[in-house]
Amino acid sequence: MAAHSRGHPAMREREFSPAGTSPYWWIRPCAGPILFLSLLFLFLFLFTAAAASAAAPEEEKFTEELLLRPLPDRKALAHFHFRSSAPPAASVGRHHHLFPKAISQLVKKYHISELELSFTQGRWNYEQWGGFDPMSTNNAKPPGVELWAVFDLPLSEIDATWKNLTHTLSGLFCASINFLESSTAFSAPRWGFKLNEGNLRYGALPREAVCTENLTPWLKLLPCRDKAGIASLLYRPSIYKGYYHSQKLKLRSSQSLGIILDQTLTVVLQPNTVSGEQLHSNHGQLQPNWSMRHLFNRKLSGKCLVSKSSRVFIEVDKGIVDNVNKSGSDLSWSNEFFVLSNSPDKLIKGQNHVEIQSSFLYVYDASNYTEEKPLDVGITWKLPLVWTCTPSPFHASRFLMGSGNERGSIALSFMSTNLHKQISGSPTDCSIKAVIFQVVPWYVKVYYHSLEIFIDGSRKTVSEVVDKIHVIPSEDKLLPGTLEMLLRFPCSMQSGTLTLDFDKGFLHIDEYPPDANQGFDIPSALVSFPEFSSARSYPEIDPVLGSPLLENFQEDSVVKSYTEVLLVPLTTPDFSMPYNVITFTCTVLALYFGSLLNALRRRIGEEERELKKTVVILKKWQLLASILYRKFVDELF
Amino acid sequence: MAEIAGDEAPTPPPPISGEVSTDPYTSIPASTGSNNPPLRTTKPGVKRLILTASVLLSFLVGLPFLLKSTEIHRSPLPSDAITGLAHRLHSAPPSFPCGLHAVFLRSVPDRSDASLTRRLEQSISAQLQLLPATSTAGNVSVSVTVESAGGCSSSSSSNVDSGWQCGTVTSADLVIGDEVFDELLHSALGSGRGDGSRVYTVVVVEVDDAEGMRVVVGKHRHAWVVGKADEVKAVSVIGKVFAKYFMNGGIEEGEAGIGKGEFMPVGSDGNVVLSFSLLNADPSDWVYDWDFEKIGERMLNPVVEALRPIAEINIESQVLYHTPKSSYSYSDDKLGGNVLSMGDIPFFVNSNEWHLDTSTSATGRSKVLQFVVYIPSARECPLYLQLPDGRLSKTNAFISPMWGGVLIWNPPDCSLDSKKTHGTRKKMSSQELMETIEIFIGQLRQLFGLKPSYLSQDMDMPTKFVVSEKGFTEWELDLLYRHHACSNLLSCLTTLESLSSLVRSLPRMIVMDEIGRQVELSLEAANLAQGNATLGISDSSAVHATRARALAEDAFFHPSIMSISYASIEHYFAIYMPFFAPVSLHVLLAAIKELKRYKAERAKYSAFLASQATSS
């Protein structure tokens, strides 16, 4: 029989409870002053005092920020951003003051130059919540777990390192990231996801459930955890009640930068308003009023003491800004449409690449507030207001076609949002570039030659639309299929559709997950529009403000959107099948064997005689019976 | 009825072949009342019997082949070698031979002859017999050198060579101070000795004008006694110093410590991570930071180097915030602060809030020793540990064996108004950090089973210990190596024995070749360690013992051992039963039937033959 060896030497972080591991606790007074070492220490002291005065190296820093934004569909967005940074130093991975030791050891051990890990529950609503701002391009993530990493290693070592990394991360974050270890689960995109030299690995687990057990280790990386500062707002029942929840960890590391760790948590919440206010909203489309207490059930009482800066932003969308500007009033914190509950410390105007004016930020410094005077910033609406968020150039969605357990096709559809008209008044012969990146598991065998493209209902040849295509075909039980495709759509296109046919493969009985009948998930595809940048600029702020959140918003990033996760039902076998097959085959064999044996030792002549004999006996019995009957009848009559 | 029976009676035996099926069967039927057995006139055929028997036989012959082909892979473990090792270790625990060299430096010109040295040597040997022996030390060979202005004579009876060079040290050198004299002695003894066997030297320096005797234990493998002493006294001091310190590390009978059943805080793969954490219980009162990477590293590196044969040590540090303790302290005005009594110490470490994570460098089965500096919040500051006798602990620290140590550090502005310092970040001063690390080194010594420091009143005369910058003196390290080698060998043996008994008790367990190889390597390393131990090379023995233990543990915790559940005996039966149960039933029944029938028919035939014989 085949020897199954399961269980890889997983490198798991061990939870360590000292009281549990050592049953003996003793006090041992160190009797008397310790004499030894004193000479040396005197010398050392002099030496270090001299050394300390020589250089004042860069320090590890921590900042915390929170951005709140009302959304058009009566919800509110909260985006937490924590940045820890460690300067480049020899002691990285060994001696730390603020930066989490576990992360720096991870970076050092696996030679990571970039890494992003996100845990998401729910799907970002690109139509309602925006598709053209830094929030949606950087913080809208596909459901489940997404992990990508760029390694600073020779190409031959990357796959092995990735495997170890997934195990370490799954231990660190209490998640099943180790399922990304298998070569069928990750891919190496070259340009469709992020331009790289083959040192990037990408993997996604669409079905991973995200809950507090993932948040707790994430919070452990913050110096104050959720004991103080902005993270103390993370009241679990509130944040997990939301419509969208995405917890992200992004690492950047280089010789010159050191390590920068960005931890973000993006949640979309329904403000938990009291019923009286909801009554009020019945007349007219008045937005719900909310404050921090409504959203999180908490107020902010001061900053995390070790953080360099601690700020709360309230962002007001372009839609609202336009409305307010139209009405002629200025955008102070108290205007005729809304009023903020606290007067902000600062007001920042934001711009995006195409527009002059895009959004307003009201800044509050959390260090001005204390336990006695907590910050509970909120927004109260005075007039009903309807606005929309700027969408991405095309609304991308993906769905399955076909029926049965044999074959089907994947369709990607693009619906124009007519953004280019708003932006540039569009000459009719212009075109918009779109990049599609899609990873398909091997058991969905996509026939890439069957790619068909329809633009506004009419079929186009591939060469008309596709500029560049890079396909890594799937290999059974070895490689997932990866598709990277650069498309060029005409500006006038209203709807475009791409279809790809696929066959459904068969899995080995051991490869089915426990809930195989639920179907199999195909991870989200990523659609990006390289000609559109979602970067904001804040011309009025001085760079000394040092807000990592706004820095991230200013970074040049292309507009991206993730499509839906697809659920493919595959033929699921009867899982008791192997035993059934064994039993059935054995029964047939046993029958055959038995009858063969019987046939071999059969004595036909003897049997015939026996048969005859029985016939004779029967005859005898008949005779006897008839005689008896006759006698009986005779006696009777 | 007789007629009827007669009708169907005799079928003549067919002429062709011995077709048994035709069954020549002369029925002289019994229906007439005669109970004669039916007779047959021909010999019963054996064709069907042979056929069924051959089928049965082929099944029986095939059975071992089937068992062989479905056998699971089991690498043969050298269980004989394991029991051999166990036998060797139990009958003769590793003992390290070492030597004691006594040097008498006489100020008076004296006629030193061989008889004197021999006498001294014998009396020292006798003295050593009286003192309690240690478990790890083997036989001690003694030699004596008497040096005086007149000359230098050594006992030649034993081959102990401490490398003592006569005339390099005189009693006049004592004035230069103990530390320098220690180094002088070290150079006089010649540091580079090749044979590896440990020779400890006790030098008796006779000084006339000294008021009493004074013992100094150096940081290398020697001690010296200064003072005017007669021979008997000197011999007893030499014996005591050797047995008490060089052999036992100053640990008295009944005291917990090295060699008293305590484990070494070293991971089974020989790695130890010393994780230093600075815990700010409540950062809203004050936040302290430290310069550990500079000072700590420099102070701890010699320690790391010294302990290398025992363990590969990594040092890490971090600062944590919002880490309250989980036990209660009470305010005591008399002592001027908050007091934590000894009974509360087991609850001091707050494993919920203290995220003293393990480290990625502590992979596998290595050990993390946590050293924690706890800075109390303003409310509970200053915080003191109270000893059971009511006094306050001088170091304000405690250890937990196999876990690490905790030190409570009360910040200097503790007694000041806390509001003044609100929210500022301060640094622990270098002086204070160094004191802290000193205490931690003391705790590390304790964790390894040595005394944190020696009491000078242990001997009945003033005793001084020269301290090493390594934290561990050479003779202490010898002690550690010896003990470590022994305990690792025993632990390696226990692991191997458990593995071999496990493998024996689970016949369906898959044993990969790699496990077998690891076991072999482990045994090899254990044998090397033992060999080195008998030669007295303690550090290399410790290295090999560590390796043996690591390999044994690797074999025991090999991930493939998990695969046992995939080759269970139930599984085996479930697969083969549906075929073999019905088929073997058929075969067996057929064979039995044929045999029975053959016997019956033969009986008929023999009856027929008998009747033929009688009738003829």
For residue A9, the distance in angstroms to the closest alpha carbon of chain B comes to 7
Contact of B548 with B529, CB cutoff 8 Å: yes
Higher pLDDT, A116 or B102: A116
Q: Burial, A46: exposed, middle or buried (Cβ in 10 Å; 0-12, 13-18, 19+)?
A: exposed
Domain count, chain B: 3
Cite the DSSP H helix spans in B449-537: 474-505, 513-535
Q: What is the pLDDT of residue A577?
A: 79
Backbone angles phi, psi at A106, to 5 degrees: -60, -50
Does any domain span residue B478?
no
Backbone angles phi, psi at B446, to 5 degrees: -65, -40
pLDDT at residue A463 is higher than 50: yes
- Pick the residue from chain B with its C-alpha nearest to A624: B1
Contact of A201 with A116, CB cutoff 8 Å: no
Q: What is the pLDDT of residue A32?
A: 40
- Pick the residue from chain B with its C-alpha nearest to A594: B586
pLDDT at residue A31 is higher than 60: no
Give Cβ neighbours of residue A198 (< 8 Å, ≥ 6 apart). Answer: A155, A158, A188, A190
Calpha distance B195→B191 (Å, rounded): 12
Using a CB-CB distance cutoff of 8 angstroms, which residues of chain B are in contact with residue A33?
394
Tell me if chain A has a CB within 8 Å of the CB of B8: yes
Residues B170 and B299 in one domain: no
Does any domain span residue B558?
no
Residues B283 and B235 in one domain: no
Q: What is the pLDDT of residue B503?
A: 85
Residues B293-338 have pLDDT tens digits of 888 888 899 889 888 888 888 899 999 999 988 888 888 888 778 8
Residues B333 and B238 in one domain: no
Residues B308 and B378 in one domain: yes
For residue B423, the distance in angstroms to the closest alpha carbon of chain A comes to 6
pTM of the model: 0.81
Does any domain span residue B494?
no
- Residue A536 has which token pair? 């904001």
Higher pLDDT, B271 or A165: A165
Using a CB-CB distance cutoff of 8 angstroms, which residues of chain B are in contact with residue A17?
351
Does any domain span residue A284?
no
Residues B222 and B277 in one domain: no
Separation in Å, CA A14 to CA A102, B81, B357, B359: 12, 35, 8, 9
Q: What is the pLDDT of residue A401?
A: 93
- Residue B432 has which token pair? 């204070």
Give Cβ neighbours of residue A298 (< 8 Å, ≥ 6 apart). Answer: A232, A233, A235, A292
Identify the domain boundary among B413, B430, B448.
B448
Instruction: List B residues 157-196 in contact with A (Cβ-Cβ < 8 A).
Output: 179
- Give which of B295, B441, B276 is closest to B373, Cα–Cα: B276
pLDDT at residue A219 is higher than 60: yes
DSSP bridge pairs for A93: none
Calpha distance B589→A89 (Å, rounded): 83
Does any domain span residue A507?
yes
Contact of B349 with B374, CB cutoff 8 Å: no
Does any domain span residue A479?
yes
Residues A537-550 have pLDDT tens digits of 887 777 667 888 88
Using a CB-CB distance cutoff of 8 angstroms, which residues of chain A are in contact with residue B468?
36
pLDDT at residue A493 is higher than 80: yes
Contact call for B567 and A594, based on CB within 8 A = no
The four Cα atoms A24, A25, A26, A30 give a dihedral, to 10 degrees, of 120
Tell me if chain A has a CB within 8 Å of the CB of B457: no
Per-residue pLDDT, averaged over B260-281, amounts to: 80
For residue B6, the distance in angstroms to the closest alpha carbon of chain A comes to 12
Calpha distance A619→A350 (Å, rounded): 115
Q: Phi/psi class of residue A450: alpha, beta or left (left: φ > 0; alpha: ψ in -120 to 50)?
A: alpha
- Determine the structural domain holding residue B600 and report its residue range: 49-69+569-615
Does any domain span residue B513?
no
Does any domain span residue A503?
yes
- Residue B592 is inside which H or E element, if any? helix B569-615
Does any domain span residue A621?
no
Residues A338-379 have pLDDT tens digits of 899 988 888 888 877 666 567 888 999 988 888 889 999 999
Q: What is the pLDDT of residue B539?
A: 80
Sign of CA dihedral B225, B228, B233, B234: positive
Instruction: List B residues 558-587 in contact with A (Cβ-Cβ < 8 A).
Output: 559-560, 562-563, 566-567, 571-572, 574-575, 578-579, 581-583, 586-587
Tell me if chain A has a CB within 8 Å of the CB of B598: no
Residues B219 and B128 in one domain: yes
Does any domain span residue B424?
yes
Residues B235 and B383 in one domain: no
ipTM for this model: 0.78
Tell me if chain A has a CB within 8 Å of the CB of B263: no
Which CATH number belongs to the domain containing residue B297 in this structure? Answer: 3.40.390
What average pLDDT does the structure give for chain B? Answer: 78
Lowest mean per-residue pLDDT among A304-308, A587-591, B169-173: B169-173
Higher pLDDT, A304 or B124: A304
Does any domain span residue A439?
yes
Q: What is the pLDDT of residue A230?
A: 93
Backbone angles phi, psi at A25, to 5 degrees: -125, 120
Which CATH number belongs to the domain containing residue A546 in this structure? Answer: 2.60.40.740
pLDDT at residue A296 is higher than 60: yes
Calpha distance B97→A602 (Å, rounded): 85
Does any domain span residue B85?
no
- Pick the residue from chain B with its C-alpha nearest to A11: B363
Calpha distance A619→A202 (Å, rounded): 89
pLDDT at residue B18 is higher than 70: no
Residues B169 and B227 in one domain: yes
For residue A216, the distance in angstroms to the closest alpha carbon of chain B comes to 11
For residue A196, the distance in angstroms to the closest alpha carbon of chain B comes to 28
Per-residue pLDDT, averaged over B339-344, amounts to: 86
Q: What is the pLDDT of residue B568?
A: 72
- Pick the residue from chain B with its C-alpha nearest to A603: B21
| A632: Cα within 13 Å, side-chain hemisphere | 6
Identify the domain boundary among B448, B481, B497.
B448
Does any domain span residue A428?
yes
Does any domain span residue A46?
no
| A369: Cα within 13 Å, side-chain hemisphere | 25
| Candidates A5, A29, A44; nearest CB to B387 | A29
Lowest mean per-residue pLDDT among A621-630, B171-180, B383-392, B560-569: B560-569
Tell me if chain A has a CB within 8 Å of the CB of B293: yes
Question: DSSP 3-state assignment of B344?
Answer: helix
Residues B288 and B430 in one domain: yes
Contact of B544 with B525, CB cutoff 8 Å: yes
Q: What is the pLDDT of residue A44?
A: 45
What's the full length of chain A, in residues?
637
Domain count, chain A: 1
Per-residue pLDDT, averaged over A62-78, amounts to: 93
Per-residue pLDDT, averaged over B161-180, amounts to: 71
Residues B108-118 have pLDDT tens digits of 666 556 677 77
Using a CB-CB distance cutoff of 8 angstroms, which residues of chain B are in contact with residue A25?
345-346, 398, 400
Identify the domain boundary among B383, B414, B448.
B448
Per-residue pLDDT, averaged over A261-289, amounts to: 72
- SS3 letters across B273-304: EEEEEEEECCCCCCEEECCHHHHHHHHHHHHH
Lowest mean per-residue pLDDT among A599-603, B138-142, B434-438: B138-142
Residues B418 and B355 in one domain: yes
For residue B515, the distance in angstroms to the closest alpha carbon of chain A comes to 13
- Determine the structural domain holding residue A422 and report its residue range: 394-575
